[in-house]
């Protein structure tokens, strides 16, 4: 007997596709508008003529933005933060998740340490104590003030330890029988089998460090040490393009709107470029560490 799909099934698929396409378009419209605004001339932007396509196309806003030393310096601070932060996050996540993934018979203090970390997800010391700790340890106005307070992402640790617990125990037991130690088991068995999980957590860590802006405002006394997102926040909220001493010849091409749009799009560009290649890891991240039946 040949099974034929009911017409309602086809209607559902079409309606579902249209709905998802509409939602995707709604999400993309603001980004496309900012991109179009950044490539438009100042009079067109001021007149509100720019929608989803540049008007009087020009790259003057990008030239002016990239010529600003403060903007270039903020990019370098963010790049440095991402490199250090992601490396430290992943190193400590792996080193914490592996022992916590052991059975209580192998690691009797496992439950105590697991709750020790989980409580930090539920109860926070507060912003003022955090600031005082960073200040008293001499980290203010340094890159370490942006990296060390988030060195151990507990949520990532919980995800990875549950992933480790789902790996076949027979592989570990066979390695121990052959004389392997815990370091060998971790680096030769667990990590190679956990590449999808590690890629997902690396992406989470990258996005977190690149998009963070508030800690830059409170831990950096000098604007010269702001990461990119903190710099953009102060720019969008308070600064005026007239403060930058612009060449009068550029005033007809670059305005406050186009200048800010160009910098905002440059700030979002790394995530836009990376996400299409790692999007499948976000899907895997939805069920990462889940209980397997």
Q: Residue 251 in contact with residue 270, Cβ under 8 Å? A: no
Eight-class DSSP state of 245 = -
Whole-number pLDDT of residue 209: 93
* Per-residue model confidence (pLDDT) at position 293: 40
pLDDT of residue 251: 54
Residue 167: how many CA atoms within 13 Å on its side-chain side?
A: 22
Give the pLDDT of residue 92: 94
Contacts of 77 (CB under 8 A, 6+ apart): 143, 225, 226, 227, 228
Category of 118 on φ-ψ map: left (φ > 0), alpha (ψ -120 to 50) or beta: alpha
Helices 7-38 and 256-286 cross at an angle (nearest 10°) of 140
pLDDT in tens, the chain (293 residues): 445 566 777 788 888 889 988 988 888 888 888 888 888 888 888 888 888 888 888 888 888 888 888 888 999 999 999 999 999 999 999 999 999 988 888 888 888 888 888 888 888 878 888 999 999 998 998 999 999 999 999 999 988 988 888 888 888 888 888 888 889 988 988 998 888 888 888 888 998 999 898 988 899 988 888 998 888 888 777 655 555 555 555 555 677 788 888 888 888 888 888 877 766 666 665 555 554 44
Helix (H, G, I), strand (E, B) or coil at 174: helix
Return the structure tokens found at 128: 């003022």
- CA proximity to 193, closest of 96, 94, 106: 94
User: Hey, where are the domains in the chain?
Assistant: 67-293
Burial class (CB in 10 A: 0-12, 13-18, 19+), 244: middle
Distance of CA 21 to the CA centre of its chain: 25
Q: Residue 205 and residue 156: Cα distance in Å, rounded?
A: 9
b/e burial code for range 95-134 (CB count within 10 A of at least 16 → b): ebbbbbbbeeeebeebeeebeebeeeeeeeeeeeeebeeb
The span from the CA of 63 to the CA of 45, in Å, is 17
CATH superfamily entry for domain 67-293: MetI-like (1.10.3720.10)
């Amino acid at each position: 007997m040949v099974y034929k799909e009911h017409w309602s099934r086809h209607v559902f698929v079409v309606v579902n596709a249209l709905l998802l396409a509409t939602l995707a378009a709604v999400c993309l419209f603001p980004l496309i508008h900012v991109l179009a605004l950044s490539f438009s001339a100042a009079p067109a932007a001021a007149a509100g003529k720019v929608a989803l396509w540049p008007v009087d196309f020009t790259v003057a806003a990008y030239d002016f933005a990239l010529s600003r030393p403060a903007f270039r310096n903020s990019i370098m601070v963010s790049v440095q933060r991402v490199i250090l932060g992601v490396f430290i996050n992943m190193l400590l996540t792996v080193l914490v998740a592996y022992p916590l993934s052991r059975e209580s018979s192998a690691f009797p203090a496992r439950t105590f340490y697991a709750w020790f970390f989980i409580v930090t997800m539920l109860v926070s010391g507060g912003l003022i104590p955090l600031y005082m700790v960073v200040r008293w340890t001499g980290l203010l106005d340094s890159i370490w003030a942006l990296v060390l307070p988030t060195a151990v992402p507990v949520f990532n640790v919980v995800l990875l330890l549950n992933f480790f617990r789902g790996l076949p125990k027979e592989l570990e037991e066979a390695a121990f029988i052959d004389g392997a130690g815990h370091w060998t088991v971790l680096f030769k068995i667990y990590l190679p089998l956990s590449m999808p999980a590690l890629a997902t957590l690396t992406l989470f860590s990258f996005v977190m460090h690149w998009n963070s802006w508030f800690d830059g405002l409170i831990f950096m006394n000098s604007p010269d040490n702001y990461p990119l997102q903190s710099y953009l926040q102060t720019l969008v909220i308070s600064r005026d393009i007239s403060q930058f001493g612009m060449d009068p010849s550029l005033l007809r091409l670059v305005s406050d709107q186009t200048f800010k749009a160009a910098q905002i799009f440059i700030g979002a560009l790394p995530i836009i470029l990376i996400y299409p290649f790692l999007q499948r890891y976000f899907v895997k991240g939805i069920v990462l560490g889940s209980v397997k039946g």
